Every structure is written in C-alpha cells, then in structure tokens.
Amino acid sequence: MLARCGVKVAINYLQSEEKANKVLDSAKSAGVQVMLVRADVRQAEQVEEMVARVVKEFGKIDILVNNAGGLPKRVPVAEMDDALWNEMVNLNLRSVFYCSRSVIPHMSKANYGRIVNVSSLAAFTGGARCATVYAAAKAGVNGFTKGLAKELAPYNITVNSVAPGLIDTPFHTKAETGDYNQFLPSIPMRRVGTPEEVASLIAYLASDDSSYITGTVFHINGGQY
C-alpha cells in the first residue's frame, strides 16, 4: 500500500523470509525503491542496526510503522509464567519503544516524521479468551502513543495508533481465535475486516493529509467498539 503511494519501503522480517520476499516483489512492482532487512525488534542492538541500514540505503527515515505483534499462546494469568509474560510484552510493546527510539533522532533532525503504531481492539475490551497480557501490552501501546505524540509535536513528528478489530489475517490462526462466525453477531457490519482496509488507514496516517492529527487511536472494527 505504501509503495503504491510512491513511498520507498524497507520491509523487516524475522522468520518469514519467503513471505517477506513476496511482499518485497509486490512493492517493487509499484516502481519504487524497496529493501528487505532482517531484525528481531525485541532486541535493541538489532533495531539500531536495522535503522542504520535503512538510513544508509535511503538517506533518511520519514515513516515508521510499528506492526510487529502477536499472541503466541492463550494462558490464564494464574497459570502464566514470567517467560510468557516477558515474551508478550517484548513482542507487542517493547518493540514499539525500541523502533521509535531508534528513528526519533533521524526524524527530529529532519523536523518531520510519521510514526504509526498498531494496537488492537483488545486494548479496550480486555481481549477474547485468555488474552489478558496481550490486551495489557496493546493498551500500553496506546499510552505510549499519546505520550510520545506530546514529546515529538515540536519536531513536526506525528504519532498515532491504529486499533484493528477482527481482521482476516494469519494472526488468528496462530492465536487460535477460532471460527470467525462466532464474532459476527457482535460486529454491526456483520463481516471481518481486510488487511487492505487497515493498510489504507495506516497510509493515510503516514501521509501529509494527516498533518494535524497526533496522539490519536483510530478504531477500525466494523462498529464492534
């Protein structure tokens, strides 16, 4: 979506190299400069290296989309060990901190930037079955978004968050969400969302059209919340 908007795109991945290359090929077809990087965004040093590579290749970074996240396992809080708690928080919240911290010096120097964080409907509802820690981490993303927006406003850097509801992606297979049909009665539009609909919102927030919007969480859930 961003490539079709004429944006040079750096695509980061960790394990899904084959899928990342498919995204790379799709972005290339838009006729813009693209690159593939590999970094674990839960690791500060790897994030710094990733950002340095992108700046070296593109000369600058104008846009950051923090879209790493997941629900690796559904476990009740009473049965959760420290390792799983840390895994959930590191993946969904710490990664946003590391990536944002790393690009801020480049954006503030240019006096321009767009940071878009991907949160979740779970941040507002507490999530579905045994997703409490995931919900807490995503709620943290929203708080981080609002605070960072205040810090960076003087540098013409906007920071917003997108909170998707039920979107038809592989996330739900890994998270064992179950049959979509069980959720449709609670969605006024009576359907699940598409990745393209979320991408369109992110592209808007990454554009100059949203220049007076910052510190805001955008719901995209078919009226569910």
Q: Which residues are identified as catalytic?
A: 134
Which residues are CB-neighbours of 124 under 8 A, at least 6 positions away? 139, 163, 219, 225
Which residues are CB-neighbours of 22 under 8 A, at least 6 positions away? none
Q: Would you call 104 helix, strand, or coil by DSSP?
A: helix
Residues across the chain: 225
Neighbours of 220 (CB within 10 A): 17
How far, rounded to the nearest angstrom, does the alpha carbon of residue 105 sit from its chain's CA centroid? 20
Which residues sit opposite 181 in a β-bridge?
none
Between CA 73 and CA 75 the distance in angstroms is 6
